[in-house]
Each structure stands twice: as C-alpha cells, then as structure tokens.
Amino acid sequence: MGKKALVTGSCGLIGSEVCLHMARNGFTIFGVDNNERAVFFGPEGDTRWSLQRLRAEIKGYNHHDIDIRNREGVLRLVGEIKPDAIVHTAAQPSHDRAAAIPFDDFDTNAAGTLNFLEAARRSCPEAPFVHMSTNKVYGDLPNTIALKELDTRWDYADPAYEHGIPETFSIDQSKHSIFGASKVAADVMVQEYGRYFNMPTCCLRGGCLTGPNHSGVELHGFLSYLVRCNIQDREYKVFGYKGKQVRDNIHSEDVANFIVAFCRAPRSGEVYNIGGGKENSCSILEAFQMVENLTGKPQKYAYVEQNRIGDHICYYSDLRKMKAHYPGWGITRSLQDVFREIVDSWHVRLGQKAPEPAGVNA
C-alpha cells in the first residue's frame, strides 16, 4: 500500500488541500471528518461538496465519519490504520462562536487533539504529527506593540517587528477569546508530546489561511466570506479599528507544501508561525479595493464601532524560522493570485459568469 497519511478535518480548507498534496506525494489517504462545520455554522458551512471532490480526485481515498471527541473511536481508528503521518486540522475554528459553545469548543479543540496525540503515541510514535494551531494563541498581546496609522492600514512602529510576529512572542497573560484558550491548550500539548515523549510533532500557528476551496462564513473565513459578500451584494460587517486591521494571507496550497516538507524531515516539539508574511498582508479596506478591482462591483459594508474581543489590530507572521529550517519552502501564491482564485471559485460555485477585471491593484 505504501505510506499512509491520516488527515483530520479532511473536508475543510487545509485538510482537503493536504489530502490532495499527500496523495500526489505517494501517500494513501485516510480522512476523518464528520461535517461538524455545518453544525457550528449552519448550511453555509457544509463541507459535503468537498468530500465528493476528494472521492473524485484521490484514488483509494478512505473516509471516516468520526467525531474527534470520541476517544475510544479515535484510539481504535489510529490503532487500525497505524499511519506514517498524522495531520490534525480538525477544530472548532471560530473566534466568535466559541463563547456560546465553550464545552463543544474545548472538547473539540483541546480534548480532540489530545485524543489523536495519545493514539499516535500508542500506535505510531514515529509518525510525524502536524497540528494546525492558530495565531490566536498569542491572545491580544500583539496589540501592545507600538503601531503607526497609515492611510489604509495599521502597521508596526517598533522596528523589532519589521518582519512580523516571531515564534518567541509570549502566549501568556493576555486575552485570547475562549477559542484562543482552547487552542493554547492543544498547542502546548502537541509541544509536550514532542518534548516529553520525543515524538516528531509541530504546531503551525496560522494567520489567515485561505484559498478557493474555503466554505467561508461570517464567523470564519475572512477573505472567502468577504469575496462572497461582494459577488452576492451582501453587506459585510467591519468590526472596529476603522477597517484598517491587518492580516497576512496564505494560500492553502502553500500551507500543504510546508506540511509535506515537515513530514519528510520532521523535528520534535517545533512551533512555526505560518502565514503570508508582510508581502501577503492587507487590511480590510485594502481587501475591499482588491476584490472591487476584480469584480467591478462596489463592496457593501456596515461599520460597527465595537471591535471583536481579543481581535488583533495588526498581525503578520515572521516567516524567517520556517525558511531557515526548510529552505526549499516559500510563498508561491501572491495576494493578487489568492484574490483572483477565490473570486473565480465563488463565481463557479454560485453559477455566475465572472466579469472582466476592472484593473489590478497588487
């Protein structure tokens, strides 16, 4: 059969991209996804279309409709498969939704991660274990960095952060959101299994992970949802900071490329900030302009003076550690590429003909 990869959240944005990439790299794919995103976010978060795509595009794709909170089920599954690599992308992913469902959030994000870590330790301790963490583990501490206000965005005024937020930045004594706290628990456990048990684990603290296969909804999926609002003439809500809050955006394919690189040359208990870096960063106002240039349609939006609790004013990832450890890896999709692919994808999914772009604003 060759090497086997077990991917949780296999129908999600990153999970599905990882499945396709690892299949191309010779792995037999075992996906775990019970479409809980539809429960968390309603019909617009449904990922069954992604499952159909995986079955159509990956020969011998093995799907398991299992809840990652089911400890005995997870232990049994990993014991039966004994994968050569585990990529854990399944999560309750919404910063905002978590406060309304704290038990579901923690049981999914923290306990669900522990279930797979312990299953791996018992059945395949040599298998690389990649965990999709989040930049929300830093809480609102990035907001204490001195900032400068520019015409369309905030940026760091402190030259120490010229390249973005490094992995050495503190995750302690800050407000995270309930989601951020549950992801901290998972993040630290993944590190601990690497260090304490000497397992090949890593945490990828993601910025805005995006791409054309995202089922973007208001509470999760920034660029995908923003583009969908533009195409469907929906009103997009901007929460505070004058719409100048900044995020770095990385294409799901570039994330998958890094995961494959790590699985080929794993390290123990590592942490990486994975995002688009400064070059692929944009504010909400800048994102409006970019999508308008591609669709020719003005963005409808409403401004809400109250920012989201614990939200970052400016965040982009310092990619230097990743590039030093894996010099063959780098960003291959520019921000303009990312926008164009998302716009084209939504036009296809919504059955609309894409207009000729009005111009290019890189």
* 317 inside domain: yes
Tokens 């010229």 correspond to what residue? 162
* 360 inside domain: no
* 358 inside domain: no
300-310 tens-digit pLDDT: 999 999 888 77
Contact at 8 Å (CB) between 341 and 212? yes
74-123 tens-digit pLDDT: 999 999 999 999 999 999 988 778 999 999 999 999 999 999 999 999 99
CB atoms within 10 A of CB 144: 9
Q: What whole-number distance in Å separates Cα of residue 65 and Cα of residue 266?
A: 28
| CATH number (domain holding residue 218) | 3.40.50.720
* 158 inside domain: yes
Q: How many domains does the chain have?
A: 1
DSSP 161: G
150-173 tens-digit pLDDT: 999 999 999 999 999 999 999 999
State the pTM of this model: 0.91
* 359 inside domain: no
* 203 inside domain: yes
* 354 inside domain: no
* 340 inside domain: yes
Q: What is the mean pLDDT of the chain?
A: 92
Domain span at residue 108?
4-349
SS3 208: strand
SS3 269: coil
